[in-house]
Structure 1
Amino acid sequence: MTMTASRPTGHPGYSETLLRRPESVATARRLVRTALAAWGMEELADDGALVVSELVTNAVLHARSEVIRLVISRPGPATVRIGVVDRSKAPPRHRRSEGEEDSGRGLVLVAGLAAAWGTDPLPWGKRVWGELHRKDSW
């Protein structure tokens, strides 16, 4: 895991390049939990693990490169942003999941857990992200 310079909040960001493989989902969950523990925000760990699982799974299924980049930052004192960067320029799409299907609910879960989520187009692809807020910050 790479730690980046301190942000305006006084907290460093964390990032890691992961292979675009299903096994990377577990690695991403561990990295999010590690960052949240370092920041004393363990209460967000379960939601953070689910958000990153869905974002990485989507990138594993749909990205067009061998690797993806996980970025975990703290843009505010009570806010954590979890982002996944890949080389596909195609924006994520909400799909209707039919009954017993095993997939298709990822963005619905992210939207339900995150205070905000979105996609940032990049010259070489995109960043899909979700933000979590501490409950006591509202």
Structure 2
Amino acid sequence: MTLYPVPESVGRARRWFRKFMAPYGMNCSVDDCVLMISELVTNAVLYGEAEEAWRVRVEWWRVGGSLRVDVHNPGFPARVRMRRPAANDAHGRGLCLINALSDSWHAGPSRFGGTVVSFLLDDAWKPEDL
């Protein structure tokens, strides 16, 4: 999915994921997936930067029994870091949520240029669907 780098794209990404994944009867929490996608698309919109027009790319696919989600933006990979926000901080919890809800996550250079942040959920598919 390719999105404009605007706040409205966060809701669009949530709706599209729910719509496209509904027929698969996933074994994992779709709500958790949607929350993590929301956090990563929000970060991509807020922190992506380029001199020319750009887009946020969201990809998901099955890797064996796992679900992998990648979110790409033209920002700098070195800026991706998990913060330890204070209780009264309004921001900075996105990657903490990803870390808590996913089985693993990674940030690094995107094949499109810029940054990709990925998460993996093990056992996301029902055993009979494998």
What is the TM-score when the length of structure 2 is the normalising length?
A: 0.82
Aligned equivalents of 1:31, 1:55: Cα separation in 2: 15
Residue 86 (structure 1) aligns with: 73
Residue 60 (structure 2) aligns with: 72
Alignment map for 1:1-138 (pairs within 5 Å): 16-41=1-26, 43-65=28-50, 66-76=54-64, 78-91=65-78, 92-122=80-110, 124-134=113-123
Aligned residue pairs, count: 121
Q: Is the 8 A contact 1:36 1:42 kept in 2?
A: no
SS of the residue corresponding to residue 21 of structure 2 reads helix
Higher RCO (Cα < 8 Å, 6 or more apart): 2
Q: For the aligned residues, what is the CA RMSD?
A: 1.9
Uncovered stretches (5+) of structure 2, i.e. residues with no partner? none
Going by fraction, where is strand more abundant, 1 or 2? 1
SS of the residue corresponding to residue 130 of structure 1 reads strand
Query: 1:70 offset after TM fit, Å?
Result: 0.7
Identity %: 36
Query: 1:80 offset after TM fit, Å?
Result: 0.8
CA 102–42 in structure 1, closer or farther in 2 if over 3 Å, else same: farther
Query: 1:102 offset after TM fit, Å?
Result: 1.8
- Greater alpha carbon shift after TM alignment, 128-137 vs 85-94: 128-137
Q: CA offsets, 1:3-62, max 9 Å, x none? A: xxxxxxxxxxxxx11011111111111122223213221642111011101111111110
| Code of the aligned partner of 1:122 | S
CA 134–36 in structure 1, closer or farther in 2 if over 3 Å, else same: farther
